[in-house]
Structure 1
Amino acid sequence: MSVPRVVVAAPTSNAGKTSVATGLVAALAARGAAVSPHKVGPDYIDPGYTGLAAGRPGRNLDPVLAGEERVVPLFLHGARGAEVAVVEGVMGLFDGATSPDVAPGFASTAHVARLLRAPVVLVVDAGAQAQSVAALVHGFATFDPTVRLGGVVLNRVGSDRHEQILREALGASGLPVLGAVRRLPELGTPSRHLGLVPAAERSAEALATVARLGEVVAGSVDLDAVLRLARTAPDLDVAPWDPAAEVTVVPGRPRIAVAGGPAFTFGYAENAELLAAAGAEVVPVDPLRDEALPEGTTGLVVGGGFPEVYAEQLSANEGLRADVAALAARGGPVAAECAGLLYLSRELDGHPMCGVLDAATAMSPRLTLGYRAAVAVTDSVLAAAGTRVRGHEFHRTHALPGAGATPAWQWSAAGAEGFVAGSVHASYLHLHWAGSPALPQRFVASCAARSRPDRSEQHAHR
């Protein structure tokens, strides 16, 4: 299968990868191209911006969470119908996962670029350098001959003279300078305790930022040269990932609500696709705005996000909180991770939540971040006891207690974690279900085993 593609990488974090990648997607889309946006690693926030620019979901490519063997099939699945794909890297080009059970460089941008056989565009923060840029680029171009650098985008260039010096310095490198982007502080995207503010929370402001990034890149980067480079990527002799091939259809078509809206923006598109492939009717619910679960809801999935930012508003929506508690009380399957755990707790920063879990949650000064190899402690609606998964933690909150009488997962670094209580599975662990398709299969089956409540039963719990 042939998909022209480039990987946007950088020597370090904070060099401008997200801005350049988002601007590149927006600029190509503005020219009428169908662009497929992707992100290396587990991060949910950056794909929100490139997805907004492309008008289609930004898809993650993570060898740890989904498995190395699924990276190319997942890429091809996400790129169906696209004329070009832009893959934003993670951290520095060669920086990979730090888990002790994986090799150095595993899950790095370079690793994914090799798997995709894609040329790399290196975004260099040139703001504090001149001729030294040539040494930097030379080092990255020669460090690993299996990674093909196809060109450089100079970022945070100070002036015409600065740009001239940088271009002259790179003249002998053999790598083309594809563009030079000036310092534009007004294009900075707002950040908070876990990084950038998700695009879904900024709505009109995010759209304006994305459009402006597209204009800047269109005026600063040789888009035709980028497209020519993308077309040098060879065919990928692999079938696209197909969610229908990963699961079997469960009879009964249970209706499963999936939380979304500004407070719950973290979710992999493939998770909902797997639920649907397994026979579920997937319907959205916004805990900030919807006063009740969708009629006929049999199960609920509450993924990640920033409920701590919206704690007061979430608490004020008493109708939906009561509906969620009633669903769990009558045995409706609920799967929650990270933000979902906070929402199901008794309280979040003193604000009453759904009260499904006997735990209090609150903001914490400590950032918890990293991959985890976990084992299911007991049978639940999501996983059979002994199921092994790879997940990712990313939060500045804590739960007291950190685990229920029956924990969800066990891993060496933190011991037992999470909660399994009746039909509820809640944990801080983020999971990419493409890497563990038995999980959505089991969850849909758990929902199908429950009879769909009728209208009168639902209203009786409100």
Structure 2
Amino acid sequence: MVVAAPASGSGKTTVATGLMAALRRAGSRVAPFKVGPDYIDPGYHGLATGRPGRNLDPVLVGEHRIAGLFAHGSRGCDIAVVEGVMGLFDGRVDTAGVGSTAHVAKLIGAPVLFVVDARGQSRSLAALLHGFRGYDPTVRLGGVILNQVGSQRHEQVLRSACDEVGLDVLGVLPRDPQFSLPSRHLGLVTAVEHGPEAVAAVDAIAAAVAQHVDLDAVRALASVPSMAVAPWEPQVEAVRDEPVVAVAGGAAFTFGYAEHVEVLRAAGAAVAVVDPLRDERLPAGTAGLVLPGGFPEQHAEALSANVPLREAIARFARSGAPVHAECGGLLYLARSLDGHEMCGVLDADGVMTPRLTLGYRDAVAATGSPLHAPGSRVTGHEFHRTQLSTPHSAPPAWHWRGVDSRPVAEGFVAGGVHASYLHTHPAGDPDAVARFVRACHPFVAGSAGGTVFA
């Protein structure tokens, strides 16, 4: 089932995470999902369920892949809980709801559990629910959870409003500050960074949901026939030599999709995790390096202090070996980040700004690289408050049109390095990941020189 809301800030993450954890504690095997390109919520979903949190984003991977990805992530589970994004019908700007929660709910044939922030609501709730249910009758609103309810009398009035439009109330959560997760400039604090406090927060939310939500009614709502769809599998040709691909992890680099490692392995890579906050060297035999996004700006001092790894990465990048850096990884390759010395692969400096850069981008590969042939087209997503303050001279990674239709050149390609603010989903373009693994082949022995990627 899909957990949706009229708007952001209604409590979707709290309710979805609490449901996942409460259902797991009640004996269910729960598959967790998030609509859209979000990286942070799936971390909490993983804590709640003990399984990787996965994303369902038709914009990034194509709507034809959503049902297969859903089936792939649901294998071996009794129930799937999908947390929506923004309001129920909010999708990519200037489209008819493409990528919205409603769009995904229809693609996977799932009913919607509607979470309403009840603060300031009374009988007008009936009009709100009537409007959302009638706006697109092909989306099945199956029940309501009332969040932030102030009193028993308030609950009675809200229940009457739901009765007026014939929607069942499956749960009522009282106002309580402990039913929330910590936030920061790009959303929640990641589960990895929050550590034991994140576990405690999920436990508290799970207990609240178990107490105030009818879990049997939730299971009944979710009991819909399974779609006859084959689970997604990464269809790529594997290399034979199993090159070691190091993937940055730990608290500073948490923005990655679960399918990325799966596609790397399907393409023949042996994946090894390196934590730039702790490890002082790359894994033995590393022939390729992936630096995903995250919050390196929150850990800039500690990242800078790990001089041995910074120097090792700089040497590796300058050897011509394949390096794929997205957003936070791009900043780590810069000369500095908020005044703290970074790897120095990119002749540029990263700084925090008050401006949020956010949105989908239809991009064209400007330069041949380990990931893309020139002219390749992808849809990616930007989400950052940093910028590179010093222009660099390397060829750009991407070209696209900005919201004002002006041409944009973004990222850079230098030797085997492809670095950009743009996040892409590997299930949308598994061939790019396979190309990256093939590019690792000359570096398996660690003795190859620079390579030109056409």
TM-score bracket relative to the smaller structure: over 0.9
What is the CA-CA distance between 1:172 and the residue it aligns to? 2.4
* Match 1:20 to one of 15, 18, 22: 15
What is the CA-CA distance between 1:128 and the residue it aligns to? 1.1
Sequence identity (%): 62
Cross-structure match for 1:97 = 92
What is the CA-CA distance between 1:402 and the residue it aligns to? 5.1
Between the aligned partners of 1:17 and 1:333, the Cα distance in structure 2 is 39
Cross-structure match for 1:296 = 285
* Match 2:272 to one of 270, 283, 290: 283
Q: Secondary structure at the match of 1:106?
A: coil
Q: Secondary structure at the match of 1:434?
A: coil
Q: In the alignment, is the contact (CA less than 8 A) between 2:317 and 2:323 conserved in 1?
A: yes
Q: In the alignment, is the contact (CA less than 8 A) between 2:401 and 2:408 conserved in 1?
A: yes
Matched, 1:387 2:376: yes
AA at the equivalent of 1:377? A
Matched, 1:238 2:233: no
User: What is the 5 A alignment of 1:38-437?
Assistant: 38-98=33-93, 100=94, 103-231=95-223, 233-243=224-234, 246-401=235-390, 404-413=393-402, 415-437=408-430
What is the CA-CA distance between 1:452 and the residue it aligns to? 2.8
Between the aligned partners of 2:83 and 2:414, the Cα distance in structure 1 is 39
Q: In the alignment, is the contact (CA less than 8 A) between 2:347 and 2:392 conserved in 1?
A: no
What is the CA-CA distance between 1:237 and the residue it aligns to? 1.6
Residue ranges of structure 2 left out of the alignment (5+ in a row): 448-454
Between the aligned partners of 2:303 and 2:162, the Cα distance in structure 1 is 53
Between the aligned partners of 1:148 and 1:451, the Cα distance in structure 2 is 52
AA at the equivalent of 1:235? S
AA at the equivalent of 2:204? R
What is the CA-CA distance between 1:401 and the residue it aligns to? 3.8
Between the aligned partners of 1:249 and 1:59, the Cα distance in structure 2 is 24
Cross-structure match for 1:459 = none
Per-residue CA deviations over 1:11-61 (Å, capped at 9, x if unaligned) read 000000000000000000001111000000000011111111000111000
* Match 2:446 to one of 426, 435, 453: 453
Per-residue CA deviations over 1:391-448 (Å, capped at 9, x if unaligned) read 0000000013455431100001151110100110000000001101111011000011
- CA gap 1:384/1:127 in 2 versus in 1, 3 angstroms: same
Per-residue CA deviations over 1:133-164 (Å, capped at 9, x if unaligned) read 11111111111110000000000001111111
Per-residue CA deviations over 1:161-185 (Å, capped at 9, x if unaligned) read 1111111221122111000000111
What is the CA-CA distance between 1:450 and the residue it aligns to? 1.7
Q: In the alignment, is the contact (CA less than 8 A) between 2:396 and 2:413 conserved in 1?
A: yes
TM-score by length of structure 1 reads 0.94
Q: In the alignment, is the contact (CA less than 8 A) between 2:19 and 2:209 conserved in 1?
A: yes
AA at the equivalent of 2:419? A
Q: In the alignment, is the contact (CA less than 8 A) between 2:286 and 2:444 conserved in 1?
A: no
Q: Which runs of 4+ in 1 moved over 4 A?
A: none
Residue ranges of structure 1 left out of the alignment (5+ in a row): 1-5, 455-462
- CA gap 1:322/1:31 in 2 versus in 1, 3 angstroms: same
Between the aligned partners of 2:241 and 2:318, the Cα distance in structure 1 is 22
Q: In the alignment, is the contact (CA less than 8 A) between 2:178 and 2:204 conserved in 1?
A: no
Q: In the alignment, is the contact (CA less than 8 A) between 1:274 and 1:437 conserved in 2?
A: yes
Q: Secondary structure at the match of 1:299?
A: strand
AA at the equivalent of 2:305? A
Cross-structure match for 1:3 = none
Instruction: Give aligned pairs, total.
Output: 443
AA at the equivalent of 1:35? V
